[in-house]
């Protein structure tokens, strides 16, 4: 939580006052011990400075270890052994530096070994603690985004019962007129709305539910497109049936953008979607045509940006996402370990 301006001012004043008080006491203590012996005072000052530099170096190495090897290797299960190999090499390097400092005197081997283990432990612990704070910050961001999404959904739910009742009325009219196509499309639309209002509030849903939602959406998209050779829509979805859960509405922004920006009634166009879920791993390959009229909306809206944020927070180090925009073709390749 961000500090208020007056709280921040009080904090800095308290730190400065305490530092000055501690410095005053330390100066009095040194004066009482060494008097006017400048050589002793200088030696003690160098001694303190060496420890300050040591703490700064250990802090810096710990931070670099966290920002580099820890986040790149330790947090990725496949590369974890690489991280521990780096730690062993770092420990060896620190030990050798301490040995050189003591001219490799055998009497200091035990002391150097102990200091090396302590310093390495601090560096490793720094990584764990820093990552714990990172996870906590991301959880707070995710919770804030979820709250904002719920508020947005509430604002958009203008009497959903009225909407459902209206759709049921239209469905009954279409069924009574024996217009099965319209009745089926209305039923699909009602299912999509119900899913959006109800299932989207859950943190995770079954893969079957998400695929069923996508199938209904694709059915509506196909229905609105004219039957032309210039419009090609190729959809392939395959699921091996192994139990798996997924964050709701995670895939729909990609699919929605593909139809919004990839379909043209004036030019040849295509949308190609290949979705495979196997061994609890989701793989999505999506391609769609793009046109000059949509270049001013490069990036395909905020939907993909939001998906990036959700993937980062919900599936850290468990996904890959590559987006290519080659001018006439927009391509997405994504993989998630569910």
Q: For the segment 120-155, what is each residue's pLDDT rounded down to a tens digit?
A: 888 888 888 888 888 888 777 777 776 666 656 555
**Helices in the chain by DSSP H: which ranges?**
5-34, 38-65, 80-101, 109-156, 160-176, 180-198, 207-224, 252-262, 301-314
* 100 pLDDT more than 60: yes
What pLDDT does 213 receive? 85
Q: How many domains is the chain built from?
A: 3
3-state secondary structure of 234: strand
> Is the predicted pLDDT of residue 80 greater than 90, yes or no?
no
Window from 4-8, 20-24, 250-254 with minimum mean pLDDT: 4-8
What is the spatial distance between Cα 194 and Cα 201, in angstroms, rounded to a whole number? 11
* Structure-token match 């091996």, residue found: 240
| pLDDT above 50: residue 107 | yes
Together in a domain, 88 and 19: no
Query: What is the rounded end-to-end Cα distance, in angstroms, of the chain?
Result: 32
**Domain's final residue, options 135, 151, 167:** 151
Instruction: Say yes or no to pLDDT of 337 above 60.
Output: yes
Task: Return the pLDDT at 278.
Answer: 92
> Does 311 share its domain with 290?
yes
25 & 86 share domain: no
Q: What is the CA radius of gyration of the chain?
A: 31
- 177 or 206, greater pLDDT: 206
The boundaries of the domain holding residue 14 are 1-32
pLDDT of residue 58: 83
**pTM given for the model:** 0.52
Per the CB < 8 A criterion, the answer to whether 233 and 270 are in contact is yes
Residue 178 binned pLDDT confidence (cut-offs 50, 70, 90): low
Instruction: At 228, list the tokens.
Output: 């032309």
Report whether pLDDT(156) > 80. no
Mean pLDDT of 60-70: 87
Tell me which of 93, 127, 151 is where a domain ends.
Answer: 151
Answer whether residue 190 is part of any domain. no
Q: Is residue 204 part of a domain?
A: no
Mean pLDDT, residues 282-290: 93
């Amino acid at each position: 939580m961000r500090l208020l301006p007056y709280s921040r001012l009080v904090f800095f004043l308290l730190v400065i006052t305490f530092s000055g008080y501690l410095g005053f006491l330390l100066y009095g203590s040194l004066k009482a011990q060494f008097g006017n012996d400048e050589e002793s005072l200088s030696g003690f000052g160098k001694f303190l400075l060496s420890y300050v530099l040591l703490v700064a170096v250990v802090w810096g190495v710990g931070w670099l270890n966290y920002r580099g090897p820890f986040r790149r290797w330790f947090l990725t299960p496949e590369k974890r052994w690489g991280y521990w190999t780096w730690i062993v090499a770092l420990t060896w390097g620190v030990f050798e530096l301490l040995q050189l400092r003591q001219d490799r005197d055998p009497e200091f081997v035990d002391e150097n070994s102990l200091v090396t283990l302590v310093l390495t432990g601090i560096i490793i612990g720094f990584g764990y603690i820093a990552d714990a704070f990172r996870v906590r910050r991301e959880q707070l961001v995710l919770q804030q985004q979820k709250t904002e999404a719920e508020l947005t959904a509430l604002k958009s739910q203008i009497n959903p019962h009225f909407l459902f009742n209206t759709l049921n009325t239209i469905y009954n009219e279409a069924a009574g007129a024996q217009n099965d196509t319209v009745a089926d499309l209305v039923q699909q639309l009602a299912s999509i709305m119900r899913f959006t209002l109800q299932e989207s509030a859950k943190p995770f849903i079954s893969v079957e539910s998400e695929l069923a939602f996508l199938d209904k959406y694709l059915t509506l998209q196909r229905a609105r497109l004219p039957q032309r050779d210039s419009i090609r829509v190729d959809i392939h979805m395959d699921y091996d049936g192994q139990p798996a859960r997924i964050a709701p509405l995670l895939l729909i922004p990609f699919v929605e953008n593909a139809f919004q920006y990839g379909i043209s009634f004036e030019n040849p166009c295509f949308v190609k979607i290949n979705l495979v879920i196997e061994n609890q791993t989701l793989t999505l390959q999506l391609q769609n045509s793009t046109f000059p009229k949509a270049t001013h909306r490069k990036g395909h809206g905020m939907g993909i940006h939001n998906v990036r944020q959700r993937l980062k927070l919900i599936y850290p180090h468990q996904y890959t996402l590559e987006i290519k925009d080659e001018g006439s073709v927009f391509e997405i390749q994504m993989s998630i370990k569910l």
